[in-house]
Structure 1
Amino acid sequence: MNPTIEQRIQRLEDLEAIKTLQYAYGQLVDKGWDGKEMITDGLEEVFTEDASWESKAQNISVQGIQQISDLFKMMDARSDLFIHSFSNPIIDLQGDKATAKWMLISPMTLGGGELQNMLASYNNDYVRTPEGWRIKALRLNPAYMPKG
């Protein structure tokens, strides 16, 4: 059976909401130009309360909004510039849940050092909540990590 026009519109709205959510995550944790600071106290706007954030290559695995916030406070202290540039989203919607793969190019400076780029992918899980779509699990998979 073909989806109704309402179902098709809902799908498009959900896809755009998930993209906007991912971009909002990047905006919250970016820093270092024009007075831009990392906003760790806004992470509850993009993550579920019990969300996970992990990067096996970096030996990082945290659970819950407080641990995620603490992780970014540590990253904030180590970096002067941090930019998230997401591309190539492949989003699979399944009702009130979704998965997505993203590519990341992330220019950064660590400890006042030279500008470097992290190249990575994300494999994320999302869930629809009463407040809208939120990240349930974020998995960062670096292909190239800056030294420092």
Structure 2
Amino acid sequence: MPSNESDWSDEFEIRALVDRYCDAVNRRDVPLWLETWNDDPHWELFGRPTQGREAALGVLQGALAMLNFVVQTAVNPVIEVNGDRATGRWLVTEWSESEQLGRLMLLFIYHDEYERTPSGWRIASRRMQLLYQGPPDLSGQSFSPTSEAG
């Protein structure tokens, strides 16, 4: 829990940052999505790391090109601020539909690192820990939320 007014303000700004990230994914707003990252972000999805804005952008554009529909929400954050750096953990639900995969639901945890920049808080690192991948009826494969795997 934030210990002072500054920490509360920082936590609020980080929550707003992650809200903008999800909103950008949902609306396919690539410029807004890019604004949520720092200048050299690390992004790891499904155990595959990318480094840098161009690499992350390529992954996002590839994913969006496959999807006819996507909605992403992030809830229950645990945020810890330490000066100009912070960490966060979010439970994310993503519903999507594509020609290749049909209707799909993902449940995962994002393990984040943030940095304060002259433009405000930005995501420096984001790692996905997959909890579930499969049909929205939860008949697909699930993974232990206590493990740090992938």
TM-score class, shorter = 0.7 to 0.9
The one-letter amino acid paired with 1:44 is: L
2:91 to 96, 103, 115: 103
User: Separation in 1 of the partners of 2:82 and 2:47?
Assistant: 30
Confirm or deny that 1:64 pairs with 2:52.
Answer: yes
2:11 to 9, 15, 20: 15
The one-letter amino acid paired with 2:41 is: A
2:142 alignment partner in structure 1: none
User: Separation in 1 of the partners of 2:89 and 2:71?
Assistant: 18
The one-letter amino acid paired with 2:35 is: E
SS in 1 for 2:134: coil
User: Separation in 2 of the partners of 1:82 and 1:112?
Assistant: 14
2:125 alignment partner in structure 1: 137
1:1-148 equivalences in 2 (<5 Å): 8-30=4-26, 36=27, 38-55=28-45, 58-111=46-99, 114-146=102-134
Note the C-alpha offset of 1:9.
1.9
SS in 1 for 2:4: helix
Higher strand proportion, which one? 2
Write out the 4+ residue segments of structure 1 that deviate beyond 4 Å after TM superposition.
none
Does the 8 Å contact 2:113/2:125 carry over to 1? yes
Note the C-alpha offset of 1:139.
0.4
User: Separation in 1 of the partners of 2:98 and 2:24?
Assistant: 18
Note the C-alpha offset of 1:113.
5.3
* Percent identity of paired positions between Structure 1 and Structure 2: 24
Q: Any unmatched runs of 5+ in structure 1?
A: 1-6, 31-35
1:33 alignment partner in structure 2: none
Aligned residues: 134
CA deviation string 1:42-68 (max 9, x = no partner): 33310011001102xx24211111111
Tell me the C-alpha RMSD between the 2 structures: 1.9
CA deviation string 1:47-101 (max 9, x = no partner): 011001102xx24211111111111110011111111111110001101100001
User: Separation in 2 of the partners of 1:76 and 1:141?
Assistant: 20
User: Separation in 1 of the partners of 2:97 and 2:72?
Assistant: 13
TM-score (norm: length of structure 1): 0.83
